[in-house]
Structure 1
Amino acid sequence: MRPQINRLPENAPKGFAGTAIDRTRPLRFRLDGRIVSGYAGDTVLSAALAAGIDTVGQHQNSPIGLTSWAHPAISHASLASDPQFALPMARTPAQDGAEFVTLGAERSRGMTRLFQPGRTLGLKLDAARPLTRPWRTIPGAADTSTDLLVIGGGVAGLSAALAGARVGLTVTLVEARGFLGGHSGLFGTQEGEDAPEESMARLSAEVEAAEAITVLAATQVFSIRPGLARAHRIETSPGTSRGRVIDIAAERIVIAAGALERLPIFAGNRLPGIAGCLDAYEMATRFGVWPGQRAIVATGSNPAYRLAMLASDAGIEIGRILDARPESTSRFIAFSRAYGIVQSPGTVVASAGTARSGGLLSVHTESRHGHTLVTDRLLVCGGWQPDLTLWHIAGGSSAWNADRCRLEAQGRLDSIALAGSAAGYFTRRGCIQSGADAIDQLLGRARRAVDDPIVDPVHETPDGPLAIASPVSEGAPTYLDAGIGLLQRPAEAARKRRFAFWRPARGGLTLLSEAPQPLAVNEVAAGVNLGLIPAEAAGIVAQERVASVPLSVQQELPDPGNWVPIKPTEIPAYLIGRYGPEARIVRIVPNEARILEPGALIFPNSDARHPDEAIGVVLRHDPAGAVGLVAARAATTDNPVTVREKGQIVRAQIAEQDT
């Protein structure tokens, strides 16, 4: 069996041996021709990380780390030509004897793979959206109908499913991962709560025992509207796994998608060896995977201290905890101090780079007494953002909460409710109660107050704002999020001096409005933190750029000669009136052959850049270009317009309009 250099021993304490794997059942598979060893229960991603593969490839001459949030789509080699069989590495079970290949991005064939053949998948990531998810363009097959669809298998989703079943509803619970319970274990216990593992196990057992509840694990919902959800499901049979896109009809929907961990902003924040605390926790507890023997933690949130203590118990050397908050206190902070872990309050990571010797990473700090630290691994936590992706796609609105430095849902949607962290709740108790409250809301029943106790800040310092380092002109790129978008800190924000003759040394975005579409929720939040998006406009930007395209208009493309306009009833609610009461549905044809992405903004000329200057938005692909919604004053046949798409100016014209 090939070595698994990043696998913790089977007697690792604190659950770090991996609860999902069976070490008595070793397996081997191929990934792009390379033999990878693992155990039954591994995913392709966890086995690859255990084997020491920690790099996706190169983006703008800088390596990008392989994580649960940033990995290429894969497929069985025999099915690679069909996008409907594409699979995500993080959700695909490792299978003995299988042969997988990566999809979407071209593979490097030069010096990068020659010098680091074991660490990298060797993908070229400079093309537009190289980590695309092919299944998102495939129409769904009608699969099932249910009274209640619950999206998310954490404690809030489990509670909502049980509450629905108790009142006689048929329930379908969808969870993207292969297990139920979520990640409450990282956040510990408050006074009056049982241990998180006990809550998760109890709720999971009750759900699995309930006849009215159908659980679809390894199934990720990626588009939604009232009454219908579209999901990508992994179906496994002996020797193979296949992806399938399904449509689930539901009279009521609860979104319990949890919260997204944010990425601190500093140069080199996506190098191999850098991982989010939640990602590191899941890899250790589920699969017993922990790269390296030394780690540094950089955080502005208290749960990172708990991870540091758990890792220390498992024999990992925690060199230091860097806390962006100048003064902070919590039980986790006090406990970690008792562990002897060095703490550096008021310290932000300035940049990270590849260490010349003694470790994988060199970490430079930004504080009164700056340090350069060498470590195997840097674990980061920039705070938490409610995952409002599906809420926005369904037509829900949001607004920026300046006190909590995050986007929060606003208003209500017919037949759709939020629960748990996605609804803004903080504690495990609040998340569990919010699941039942969501059912009361959907059924129009009297609602009881959700008990979400917040500890006095004197005893428990709340999360600080996102840590943002001063911009640097050299070094690895700075990214706004840890996901597949690869959106960098705009060049304008990196300028320290402004002269008439000054030009950026390296090309890049200068405004967030030029970013590839769609934006992730975390990217919108980072845009607010960096001053690139006005706080008062954050909700509108999120609706327009996160939602991308509604499920109701995802369909097979019509014949080029017979364009089919979008019906007025299919226009997302948040766009009604956005471009005036008489806005028209038009066909837009670019001057050059290319596909215009849904969500791209339409401007009257190339000088206009700010989203407020947009006269329309692309709604759907079209064989000759796109179908869009534009202001009536611009809806004239042959009228020239400019589409800002994938960071580029695309000149186009309005070819037809719906009469």
Structure 2
Amino acid sequence: MKDQPNRIGVDRPHQFHGSAIDRGRPLKFRLDGRLISGLAGDTVLSAVLASGLDTIGEHNGTALALSQRHAPTISFAALAADHQRTLPMERTPATDGADYISTARKLQRNPLLRLMRRGRSLNIDLDRGDALARPWIGSPAEAGPAADLVVVGGGVAGLSSALAAAKRGLRVVLIEATPMLGGNSRLFGTLEGEQTPDEQIDRLATAVTNAEAITVLTNAEAFALRPGVVRLHQVEMIDDTPTGRVVEIKAPHIVLATGSFERLPIFPGNRLPGTIGALEAFELAHRYGVWAGSSALVATSSSPAYRLAMLANDAGITVPRIIDSRPNPQSRFIEFSKAYGITLAAGTLVASAASASKGRGLVATPLVALGAFQRSEPAISVDRLVLCGGWQPDLTLWHMAGGQSAWNAARARLEPRSGPAGIALAGSAAGWFSRGACVESGGDAVDALLGRQRRVVEERLIDPIYETPDAPAPIGEVPDEVAPPSYLDGGWRHIERPRLKASRWPSWLPFAPALPGWSLADTPQPLDIADIAAGVQLGAIPAASAGIVAQERVAMVVIEAGGNDPQPSQALAMPPPYLEGRYDGASLWLVAPKEARALDVGALIYRDADETDPLKAIGVVVRIVDGKAVALVAGQHGQSASVREPGRAVGITLAAPYREGGSANA
């Protein structure tokens, strides 16, 4: 398929044929004037990736990969002026004949040069802090279906929760961000005596679909939550046209089955075009038959990546080597990989990566790292670098609702602790590992919310002698002044590990300046959970403070309390307790940006646009109410100030005092 160079062929039997697509129904649409070929069942993003575009744009002069967590919003060309009608590429079904434009600002280049470089990139200017903003976050919400319980996440834990609640006589709304139910458990294989993932998912999904008490919303991403209320953005097909809407669902009980996301190994070049996470690589291949290139190096600290390598091999992808940061890993997947003839390298990680000098592809430099012993290995050139740094429970909505977390040093991740009444966690978001435990935990979460006798959840794991636990996310070289950036996560925050800057003084001199310290907790922009996990590993956040930092700095949209809420007394306290006494003389203000844009919760506020020292901040954005920012800040009416975002300052004005329960539009 010449117009879809990254679509896997079906000339041999394999599991990457694309379960969601119909290869007999081709389609075409335009994106920024470029003709994109796809298949029925594709999303806009999967069709774009299949067509050979793998670069979103540039950040500080470095090209970055286009991915499910790092994609711009789009709009129909005819509706380009209406920013509230934008759509997410990764959740918008591809439709024949559509004409889209990406809504983020493009890189400013000479038109002829831009045409020459257009090939594989969307040319988004990522240096703007709002380049990947989601405009619908500030849109008014319509009332959703009536519910006694809302389940966020349609994996096996969420499906189990929905069925358990329906059996208890509750009206259930199940929210799933992707186009289909089932979650990500297919990558992790099957234990002896279990149903296969496909069999179990099909059984649970069929039961959910046939249950009259359960309403299923797919392509629906929950982006705000507090006890009693969930707000989501859904892409639905109306008259064969993708249409977005913001929905608010009120229910006294909420189950968060949001799963886990994949950590990104930290090394220079870890987000160059051609890099991809193991889970995303699997989902794109399994659902849409998309895989870039014909060779791939797999770098992991977790065993399921070996299964991906075997499935890729079956599909005709050459896997020259799997490198594993664990010194002596054991797994059934590893034994199977050996039988495939794949070369394995234990105690090895990626020190750095760079784009190939000609054409596509990457050059990765492995590093043997066994305790204090380190040795660089010869560089490996491949089309694709598949990365897996282990798994972090997705606690974004949990923190947003007031839930607490703490750092688990043994597992190198944030794990949930106590939370607000009316909300329970299930599945891997709650810390469970095996598929069986995730399924059982769904029903247990419902019993906990209803005050019923809790069921025993059995975590059936293989003995560590035979299945080595995940290691912390691998950490490679510190980038120097000329190396590609080393990012902490694969999302859209673009937070980098500081570069190693050469000093003109030898380090052994007594007066040589010490390297400056780095406190990720004091960076001006908001943080994602994976940024915080990476910060703990790098020593930029004290492990004991990780949970507090997550509550304070993970960007969120907090829903205002209302008179008809199922649990109005559960509204979050303002200001949040962890900010009490943080800024001398501070109070709550509605703040208005001096340019048309949205502000992020967690962004620090300064008196002067030139100030960047976090210790001199006078406040922080703490809420988004009715699309407007509420800040805890020391100042007076009409005062000008500045909000820091990556690479720039945004002017703001203290517009009016804010009082809890009031309207931001008053």
Fold match by TM threshold 0.5? yes
| Inter-partner Cα distance in structure 2 for 1:161 and 1:477 | 43
| Aligned-pair Cα RMSD in Å | 3.2
In the TM superposition, residue 109 of structure 1 has moved relative to its aligned partner by: 4.1
In the TM superposition, residue 227 of structure 1 has moved relative to its aligned partner by: 1.0
Residue 334 (structure 2) aligns with: 333
| Inter-partner Cα distance in structure 2 for 1:405 and 1:431 | 20
| Inter-partner Cα distance in structure 1 for 2:255 and 2:574 | 19
Q: Which moved more, 1:545-554 or 1:458-467?
A: 545-554
3-state SS of paired residue (1:598)? coil
Aligned residue among 404, 423, 431 for 2:438: 431
Distance 1:588 1:31, change over 3 A: closer
Residue 563 (structure 1) aligns with: none
The TM-score, its normalising length taken from structure 2, stands at 0.88
In the TM superposition, residue 551 of structure 1 has moved relative to its aligned partner by: 1.4
Residue 474 (structure 2) aligns with: 467
Equivalent positions of 1:48-197 (< 5 A) are 48-110=48-110, 113-197=114-198
Residue 405 (structure 1) aligns with: 412
Aligned partner letter, 2:73: A
User: Conserved in 2, the CA contact under 8 Å of 1:584 and 1:657?
Assistant: no
| Inter-partner Cα distance in structure 2 for 1:399 and 1:578 | 18
Q: Does 1:451 align with 2:455?
A: no
Distance 1:47 1:445, change over 3 A: same
Q: Which moved more, 1:111-120 or 1:178-187?
A: 111-120
| Inter-partner Cα distance in structure 2 for 1:371 and 1:427 | 37
Q: Which moved more, 1:234-243 or 1:463-472?
A: 234-243
Residue 382 (structure 2) aligns with: 375
Residue 36 (structure 2) aligns with: 36
| Inter-partner Cα distance in structure 2 for 1:655 and 1:57 | 35
Aligned partner letter, 1:271: L
| Inter-partner Cα distance in structure 2 for 1:122 and 1:591 | 27
User: Conserved in 1, the CA contact under 8 Å of 2:74 and 2:87?
Assistant: yes
State the Cα deviation string for residues 310-365 of structure 1 (Å, max 9, x = none). 11111110011011112111111111011110011111111111112586111112
User: Conserved in 2, the CA contact under 8 Å of 1:152 and 1:173?
Assistant: yes
In the TM superposition, residue 13 of structure 1 has moved relative to its aligned partner by: 3.0
Distance 1:88 1:624, change over 3 A: closer
Distance 1:8 1:646, change over 3 A: closer
Residue 588 (structure 2) aligns with: 586
Aligned residue among 623, 627, 631 for 1:628: 631
Distance 1:242 1:294, change over 3 A: same
Task: Give unmatched runs, 5+ long, in structure 1.
Answer: 555-566
Aligned partner letter, 1:244: R
Residue 483 (structure 1) aligns with: 491
Residue 663 (structure 2) aligns with: none
In the TM superposition, residue 168 of structure 1 has moved relative to its aligned partner by: 0.5
User: Conserved in 2, the CA contact under 8 Å of 1:586 and 1:658?
Assistant: yes
Residue 396 (structure 1) aligns with: 403
| Inter-partner Cα distance in structure 1 for 2:167 and 2:50 | 42
In the TM superposition, residue 242 of structure 1 has moved relative to its aligned partner by: 1.4
Distance 1:450 1:547, change over 3 A: farther
Residue 545 (structure 1) aligns with: 553
Distance 1:617 1:258, change over 3 A: same
User: Conserved in 1, the CA contact under 8 Å of 2:525 and 2:604?
Assistant: no
Equivalent positions of 1:504-543 (< 5 A) are 511-513=519-521, 515=523, 517-543=525-551
| Inter-partner Cα distance in structure 1 for 2:637 and 2:358 | 63
Distance 1:45 1:516, change over 3 A: farther
Residue 599 (structure 1) aligns with: 602
Q: Does 1:292 align with 2:293?
A: yes
Residue 664 (structure 2) aligns with: none
Q: Which moved more, 1:292-301 or 1:454-463?
A: 454-463
User: Conserved in 2, the CA contact under 8 Å of 1:253 and 1:416?
Assistant: yes
| Inter-partner Cα distance in structure 2 for 1:109 and 1:78 | 25
User: Conserved in 2, the CA contact under 8 Å of 1:105 and 1:131?
Assistant: no
State the Cα deviation string for residues 224-274 of structure 1 (Å, max 9, x = none). 111111111112134521111111111211110110101100111111111
| Inter-partner Cα distance in structure 2 for 1:358 and 1:116 | 12
3-state SS of paired residue (1:552)? coil
Distance 1:356 1:443, change over 3 A: same
User: Conserved in 1, the CA contact under 8 Å of 2:552 and 2:578?
Assistant: no
User: Conserved in 2, the CA contact under 8 Å of 1:55 and 1:121?
Assistant: yes
State the Cα deviation string for residues 263-314 of structure 1 (Å, max 9, x = none). 1001111111110001000111101111111000000000000000111111
| Inter-partner Cα distance in structure 1 for 2:418 and 2:561 | 24
User: Conserved in 2, the CA contact under 8 Å of 1:516 and 1:647?
Assistant: no
Distance 1:593 1:357, change over 3 A: closer
Task: Give unmatched runs, 5+ long, in structure 2.
Answer: 369-374, 506-510, 563-567, 660-666
User: Conserved in 2, the CA contact under 8 Å of 1:514 and 1:645?
Assistant: no
3-state SS of paired residue (2:91)? coil
Distance 1:635 1:6, change over 3 A: closer
Aligned partner letter, 2:488: L
Residue 46 (structure 2) aligns with: 46
Residue 6 (structure 1) aligns with: 6
3-state SS of paired residue (1:144)? coil
Distance 1:409 1:4, change over 3 A: same
Aligned partner letter, 1:406: R
User: What count of residue pairs does the alignment treat as equivalent?
Assistant: 638
Q: Which moved more, 1:471-480 or 1:93-102?
A: 471-480
